Amino acid sequence: MKNPDRRAVISAATALTALPLPVFATQSKAGSRPVIQTPTQLAPRERILFDFDWRFALGHAADVNRDFGFGRDQKTYAKQGKDDVAEPASADFDAHLWQAVDLPHDWAVALPFARNDYFIPPENPEDGDPGAGHGYKAIGRRFPENSIGWYRKVFDLTAADADKTLTLEFDGVFRDALVILNGYILTRHESGYTPFNVDITNYINTNGPNILLVRADASLGEGWFYEGAGIYRHVWLVKTHKVHIPQWGVCVRGETSGAIALETAIKNASGTARTLDIVSQIYDGAGRTVAEVSSSLEVPAFGERQVSQSSKVPDPKLWTLEDPHLYTARCEVREKGECLDVYTARFGLRDIRFDAREGFFLNGQGLKICGTNNHEDHAGLGTGLPDALHFWRVKQLKDMGANAWRCAHNMPSEAILNACDELGVLVIDETRLMTATPEGLSQLEALIRRDRNHPSVILWSIGNEETAQQGTERGLKIAMDMRRLIKSLDPTRPITAAMNHYQGQGITPALDVMGFNYHESSIEPFRKLYPDMPIIGTETASAVSTRGEYVRDEVKGYVRAYDLDAPSYALTASAWWSLYNAKPYLSGGLVWTGFDYRGEPTPFNRWPEISSHFGILDTCGFPKDIYYYYKAWWQSAPVLHLLPHWTWSGREGQPIDVWAYSNLDRVELFLNKRSLGVQTVPKDGHVQWTVPYAPGELVAYGFKGDKVVMKASRRTAGPATRLSITSDRTELRADGQDVVLIRAELFDQQGTPLPTADNLIQFGVSGPARIAGVGNGNPTSLEADQASSRHLFNGLAQAVVRARRAASPMPVIVTAYTDGLATARLTLTSHAD
């Protein structure tokens, strides 16, 4: 038995939900998760979720002996198929001390925070501490002992698998992944954001165990923000006939008339030419067959061919933001009546148009783009998010009134695009590298091929703030090469780039829509140069605020939650929105950012700031006050939100600024039943009063015309008498993938929440589930994310409960405890997988 590295393995939890490739999916209802229905089996193709039953351990980027012998004695690439490529490649390797993990998994989130003691403050304070950019996690070249991760999975195959094509599909590994199977080094993939696959057909064992290793090296980053580490997206084992449709091999283009064009690639991995029939059926959202078309072609031995088909859907139902109807194409490969392979692809029927004078149009209707930029990490889990959590995050912004999501600044998890497809949210899809090198174009091609069927995607973005090249002739040459590739793969969508300087210069001719990152004063000069080029605000605002804080605190590193603060290059929420909303030729804009994220802790950029203040919601997804400003002006339902809280012990008689966000006509404010006056709500603005503090109750009444239609109040909180926990849902699937979010807060005897409470909350769970992570949205908290306890921050904390796999239904009981109060309990219904 070989001896593994017995160093302490970091504690890291994972969470995921994975959706099998569906024949069709029902439309998502408010508050629900996506529901998949499969009326027809996809046999003979098998696509198996490979996320469970992995083992994980840290290697060492600078010590071969602590990297499980990888590279020792220069044998790593000397001979193939030998288990001495690395110690864990051996079947008798003892991995029981390795951590048992399921995917997606981010090992960086469980690492300690580490201050850079060698940091020299910059001349410009906004440049900040370089460690702050990535959230002060102890990873990277300064921490070689934490920057290599090994994953090991043992699995069996049957004798029948020897006659198939077997492929491993990795949705994302951060980063520099080396895949080893049964002693063979099969591939190396450097990008941390693009998916990749590897054909394992020739390397499998059918009469014994298969040893799969993935070595990820996160020593180097690709961005300037927290990026996580490890296999943070799904892995799939795909079994197909030798004659099959390759990954992303079906492209569907639909028109609002109902016309459908399909392009299907067929790969023949056998040594015999095959004469094949391709039968394509179109299902509507209810699973009904609404169109069918068939074609024949010959594919040579070890060759690949593409077939083009066309059809028409009767009475087409369009994909809209209000009713995002999805169709599914089901493509069968047949030979003499025998089905060899099946592949499905979802799509929508919709039309988009950008106009330089009138803005953006969806299906012929003018629409102002009201969106947000987002990274992909969440409190407690880092970047290893379950699909259900991606869905929840998109829905929080949709409920606020946002209708667009920019994938900043990399190829996103496909779960995000699925959520946007199902919920009716537009997407700007962005590649990580603005370059025309083979690697850069390969990453761009992967993005286009994977995402071009998603109706939510309306723009391809080729770069973000590429200051060294966006204004140069060299940059234009690179951008034109990228443009040619995009248009060859998808001629239907326009191209943009998020530019913070040089609009009208450099790469401008390569773009269809100009993206402005801030610098609003440059918009009119640009329009004079390019009057026929549409404009979108790819990044706007960058206003900063801390949830529940109403006084700027330089020592603690908190920003006030009023809409008053933004970096020098940016605008407040009301300033940018009132500007963009007043100009019809501006297609709209996307706020930086929807959610707080790890790293880039502007405006302080110093220890112990570990996350940004930019979000409309914090890292847990708890809304900040500014959420209600956008909710008031981005959707039509009445809104009345009052801030701040009204618990200010020790400030009696001192003035407190009281604001109300509302889209009603007028708001009247009362303190302890005494009117403080009526304010008329300005368009795209807010109303405010200065009120000497006195304990009691603030009440705001919102008027529509002369009628009171809404009431909002803030009451002074007394001592805590009750700990409460609530959940975003009451049910979860016992599939090892689903998650439920638990919210903890304290209330006084009157039922008033304690807005400044910071009690330590202990979470527990019984039944087929576990606590996968915790958070509270505090941008300076150095508490562990992978834990079962968390302090409240300004009254709130969150636990992420992840389902375990179970064959029979049973309740999941979540508990929370804090000193001096009764334990809070919540029962969830668990449905068997």
Strand order from edge to edge, sheet including 810-817: 731-734, 824-832, 810-817, 760-766, 789-791
Residue with tokens 């009281």: 658
Q: Return d(Cα 578, Cα 559) in angstroms, integer.
A: 23
- Where does 656-811 have alpha helices with state H? none
φ and ψ at residue 797, rounded to 5 degrees: -145, 160
Rg, the chain, Cα only: 27
* CA–CA separation, 780 and 788 (whole Å): 19
- Asked if 712 and 640 touch (Cβ cutoff 8 Å), the reply is yes
Question: Residue type for 372, please?
Answer: T
Among the listed residues 445, 465, 731, 783, the single catalytic one is 465
What is the 8-class DSSP label of residue 1? -
Q: Collect all residues with Cβ–Cβ distance below 8 Å to 78 and sequence separation of at least 6.
A: none
Sign of CA dihedral 309, 332, 391, 463: negative
Burial of 479 from C-beta contacts in 10 A (0-12 / 13-18 / 19+): buried
Name residues whose C-beta falls within 8 Å of residue 422's C-beta, 6 or more positions apart in sequence.
Answer: 25, 27, 28, 34, 324, 326, 391
Cis peptide before 316 (omega within 30 of 0): no
Instruction: Return the residue matching tokens 């990535």.
Output: 134
Residues 6+ apart with CB under 8 A from 751: none
Q: What is the C-alpha separation between 72 and 67, in angstroms, rounded?
A: 9
Does residue 358 have an active-site annotation?
no
Residue 794 Ramachandran class (φ > 0 left, ψ -120 to 50 alpha, else beta): left
DSSP state of 494: -
DSSP for 381-438 reads TBT---HHHHHHHHHHHHHHT--EEEETTSPPPHHHHHHHHHHT-EEEEE-S----SH
Q: Which of 332, 376, 422, 539 is catalytic?
A: 539
Q: Which of 579, 586, 515, 518 is nearest to 367 (CA)?
A: 586
Phi-psi label, residue 368: left if phi above 0, alpha if psi -120 to 50, beta otherwise: beta
Q: What whole-number distance in Å separates Cα of residue 599 and Cα of residue 376?
A: 12
Residues 98, 99, 104, 106, CA torsion sign? negative
Residue-wise burial string across 57-67, b where 16 or more C-beta atoms lie within 10 A, e elsewhere: bbbbbeeeebb
Q: Are 416 and 390 in contact (CB under 8 A)?
A: yes
> Quick one: which of 370, 356, 536, 367 has its CA closest to 461?
536
Instruction: Read off the amino acid at residue 637.
Output: A
Reported residue count of the chain is: 833
The sign of the CA dihedral 546, 548, 554, 559 is positive
User: 716 exposed, middle or buried (CB, 10 Å; 0-12, 13-18, 19+)?
Assistant: buried
145 is catalytic: no
Backbone dihedral angles phi then psi of residue 448, each to the nearest 5 degrees: -70, -45
The residues annotated with a catalytic role in the active site are 465, 539
